[in-house]
Structure 1
Amino acid sequence: MDGVINDSEDYRLVTGRLQQGFEKLAWQLNDLGLDAVPLMPEILHLAKDGSSPFEVEQTLLFEQDKLVIKLHFDNNHSTLILTGIEASMGGFSSFFDSNITAETCYIKLKDTAKNNSFKHLNNNNMNAQNSEFLKKSLLNLGFGDKLNGELDKEMEAKTPEFTLGMQHEFNQKTIDYTLHFKAGDNQDMYFFNKYDATISHKDDPAKDVNQSFFINKGSGITAKEAFNLMEGRAVHKQLYNLEGHKYQAWLQLDDKNLTDNGNKKIKHYHENYGYDIDKVIAGKGIKELDDPKSKEELMRSLRKGNAQQVTVDHDGSEQKYFIAANPQYKTVDLYDHQMKKIKREEILQPEQKATKSLKQREQPTEELLKKKQSRKAKLKV
């Protein structure tokens, strides 16, 4: 019957090419730790059909682990040759020489699984650290934690390059951000390289302001500082030179000079430039400077590029104004409550007032001395 092979027929089929080799093959399979009895009928059937190359498979159990062995044969009508062994277990597979035992295959795959598991664990740890670093960078740069979910999703999908969008509102103005992320060469780490910012003017799109800001190792211009720079104000930052040394500088966008990609160049006013905002606003009648805590908050806000509200004694009454740093002219800009510029000379001239006030205080003192001297003269008489 077709497909049924008995012992006598077996040997007739392999006469001249498998008669002795078949018996040796059975012993070889047993020596490799395989069960030759169920394998041989299938091998003979494929040999009879002249299939070449062909495979036969057997599943073995090692310590409750299933090891699948595939035997690869060449059948060239003169000799049946076991050319190699393919072993697979738990999602891992490997090719071995024809003289490698099933147990050795199992041990090697077990080691491979352990090493890959350790590597996978290390990769997971690295990915987790990378994710946490990026999230911390977003937080420090003023983008909060709302993008964390989308960030994790893109990183888990191993997207080579992606962007995330965010919108803020400052001083009743909307600014849109597009954050750029890119995987490294080996795609094992992601980097937050830059973000694009746009302040839109719906009524007059021609007034829209666009600028790109670059991030270096999680540090750079914050979201609010970007807004302030794009509004024309200056920001004070700690920077690093090419040698890695720290230095302080005021930054301001240069409207007249653009880079090749249309970005405004950034003007740097190094500390050696001589702009000291503390000295500039000292003695100008700003009440916030009288309290150490209020002064510290005011100075920090001005260095971030904010137009900060202050209280000034003007013509005998307290008035509210906004001031902003102006390092280029080594002064401060003054604004009213509607953020319209005011001439500084009209308001910040308390030195004259102080002089006038001092004279007014000195005058009655002189008169009092004259009266006292007059009284003493009368007593002597």
Structure 2
Amino acid sequence: MDRYERFYDAPKSLNEFKSYVENDLKAKAVQNNLYPKLSEEEKNDLLNYRIFIKENEFILENLQITASQRKAYSEKMEFGTTDGDYSLTKAQMDTIPNVIDGHTLSKNDKYELAFSLLEKQLYGESYELLDSGEILKNYLDENVFSRHRILTINEIKFNNQNPNIMETQNEYDPAQYPKLQLKYLGFGEGEQLHKDLENGINAPEKEFEIKTSSDKMMPGNEMEFTLKFNKIENGSVFMNFYNAKLTKENGDILSHNFPVNRVNTFTAKEAVNLLEGRTVKIEFHNPKTEKIEPAFAKLNFNEPKTEKGNYNFQNFYKNYGVDTAQIVEKSKLIFDKPEWKESTIKSLEKGNIVKVKFELDDKVIEGKAVLNPQYKNLSLYDQDMNRINTNKPLEGLDQDNKHEKNNVKEQSIKR
């Protein structure tokens, strides 16, 4: 998928958007539940969240730049001169925000945003006006990894507060968005969590953190999260990243910083899975194709941490040839209901330890399974997590070991 494709192919109406979300509900629901049975309330919660995010994206409307203006500006930039007139009218200038993402725009800034790309090199940020009217921010995260997201209405200001421009833009409580981040990243809606969030929002500091824990680890392990929030000038609050620290039963401690963005954020449960050594499917930037595409990611504990205190990732992209459905099929798992097979596949791809049934010595055994994309097989266990099978690749999925090791080395990247 091209890095901008998801923006240009965005639903064009609310009904179309609702239809898309309703069709996507099951896929989202299996994140922490092998056999999802969504109530109407749960469906509405998820639907409202997606609509909330969509409706609070800022849309620059009625700019109406003409083809002759674009041509003249392009000639001016390329040749240094033009016979045309690319001047923006007063109405067009008033349509463009005076402040975006904390940056006050000069006249030249407005021209750059309207016609090409507005760059703020000092901050390592750039802004692009998409055909849809959305403003796309490109920036580097704390690991110097390229990210992008759409600006929201809380990041936009007009000096004139033109009611014709602002009347369609909804306002919302600064605490509402971070609360939704907490909920849908799997940190919950606990009273203490919300109280800590409110205290941080009301504090004078521009940055604050709150701590929470999880109970979704393997027995004997402990998990602690430190959630990092930032405030911007207009009062908006965002979780930028979170630190996950796993204390294993033997006393070993593993930690990693997970950035929070719109494209490829790991949930709290997925962070647990990664730190416990399992692999999670997510969309990553492929440095070979320069595209955002699905990949199986795992933390590489065999290499030293980066200067940012993070592990490198081993990523297995589409060309590595991992087909979870085929792996499940060849593993001869038994499903009491056909729909459970799809749920199992999605749960395995999230890095979960999944309850399964399988044949062993002519008997049907209830046990657990973990997907191993690197070797294209399932690791099978009994109910007490004692290993049953080996890492031997499944018949028909064999790969040359040397070739696989080279592939793994090539896919190791920093985040």
Class of the TM-score when normalised by the shorter of the 2 chains: 0.5 to 0.7
Q: Assess if the C-alpha contact under 8 Å between 2:379 and 2:387 holds in 1.
A: yes
Q: Assess if the C-alpha contact under 8 Å between 1:192 and 1:218 holds in 2.
A: no
TM-score (norm 1): 0.53
Q: Assess if the C-alpha contact under 8 Å between 1:134 and 1:218 holds in 2.
A: no
Q: Does 1:174 align with 2:222?
A: yes
Deviates more, 1:138-147 or 1:166-175: 166-175
Match of 2:244 among 197, 206, 211: 197
Q: What amino acid does structure 2 have at the position aligned with 1:229?
A: L
Match of 2:266 among 218, 221, 224: 221
Structure 2, unaligned runs of 5 or more = 1-159, 396-415
Q: In the aligned structure 1, how far is the partner of 2:367 from the partner of 2:230? A: 44
Q: In the aligned structure 2, how far is the partner of 1:240 from the partner of 1:192? A: 21
Match of 2:197 among 151, 154, 177: 151
Q: In the aligned structure 1, how far is the partner of 2:368 from the partner of 2:242? A: 29
Q: In the aligned structure 1, how far is the partner of 2:370 from the partner of 2:209? A: 33
TM-score (norm 2): 0.49
Note the C-alpha offset of 1:219. 5.5
Q: What amino acid does structure 2 have at the position aligned with 1:270?
A: Y
SS in 2 for 1:342: coil
Matches within 5 A, 1:284-303: 284-288=331-335, 291-303=337-349
Question: Counterpart of 2:317?
Answer: 270
Question: Counterpart of 1:5?
Answer: none
Match of 1:341 among 376, 383, 387: 387
Q: Assess if the C-alpha contact under 8 Å between 1:196 and 1:212 holds in 2.
A: yes
Question: Counterpart of 2:184?
Answer: 140
Question: Counterpart of 1:306?
Answer: 352
Q: Assess if the C-alpha contact under 8 Å between 2:264 and 2:283 holds in 1.
A: no
Q: In the aligned structure 2, how far is the partner of 1:315 from the partner of 1:345? A: 19
Q: What amino acid does structure 2 have at the position aligned with 1:194?
A: F
How many residues of Structure 1 are paired with residues of Structure 2 in the alignment? 224
Q: In the aligned structure 1, how far is the partner of 2:379 from the partner of 2:391? A: 11
SS in 2 for 1:293: helix
Higher relative contact order (CA 8 A, sep 6+): 2
Larger Rg: 1
Q: In the aligned structure 1, how far is the partner of 2:314 from the partner of 2:332? A: 31
Note the C-alpha offset of 1:345. 8.2
CA 314–215 in structure 1, closer or farther in 2 if over 3 Å, else same: same
Q: Does 1:131 align with 2:178?
A: no
Judging by fraction of residues, say which structure has more strand.
1
Q: Assess if the C-alpha contact under 8 Å between 1:200 and 1:209 holds in 2.
A: yes
Q: Assess if the C-alpha contact under 8 Å between 2:366 and 2:383 holds in 1.
A: yes
Match of 1:256 among 299, 302, 305: 302
SS in 2 for 1:341: coil
Q: In the aligned structure 1, how far is the partner of 2:207 from the partner of 2:375? A: 43
Question: Counterpart of 2:363?
Answer: 317
Note the C-alpha offset of 1:338. 2.1
Q: Assess if the C-alpha contact under 8 Å between 1:179 and 1:192 holds in 2.
A: yes
Note the C-alpha offset of 1:279. 0.5
Q: Assess if the C-alpha contact under 8 Å between 1:164 and 1:180 holds in 2.
A: yes
Q: Assess if the C-alpha contact under 8 Å between 1:167 and 1:176 holds in 2.
A: yes
Q: In the aligned structure 1, how far is the partner of 2:387 from the partner of 2:171? A: 52
Matches within 5 A, 1:360-375: none
CA-to-partner distance for each residue in 1:147-181, whole Å, 9 max, x for gaps? Answer: 22321232133431111111111233321100001
Q: In the aligned structure 1, how far is the partner of 2:330 from the partner of 2:263? A: 39
Q: State the Cα RMSD in Å.
A: 3.1
Q: In the aligned structure 1, how far is the partner of 2:200 from the partner of 2:264? A: 22
CA-to-partner distance for each residue in 1:173-206, whole Å, 9 max, x for gaps? Answer: 321100001122x2632221111111224x643x
Q: In the aligned structure 2, how far is the partner of 1:194 from the partner of 1:292? A: 38
Q: In the aligned structure 2, how far is the partner of 1:284 from the partner of 1:140? A: 32
Structure 1, unaligned runs of 5 or more = 1-114, 350-381
Q: In the aligned structure 1, how far is the partner of 2:210 from the partner of 2:389? A: 42
Q: Assess if the C-alpha contact under 8 Å between 2:264 and 2:282 holds in 1.
A: no
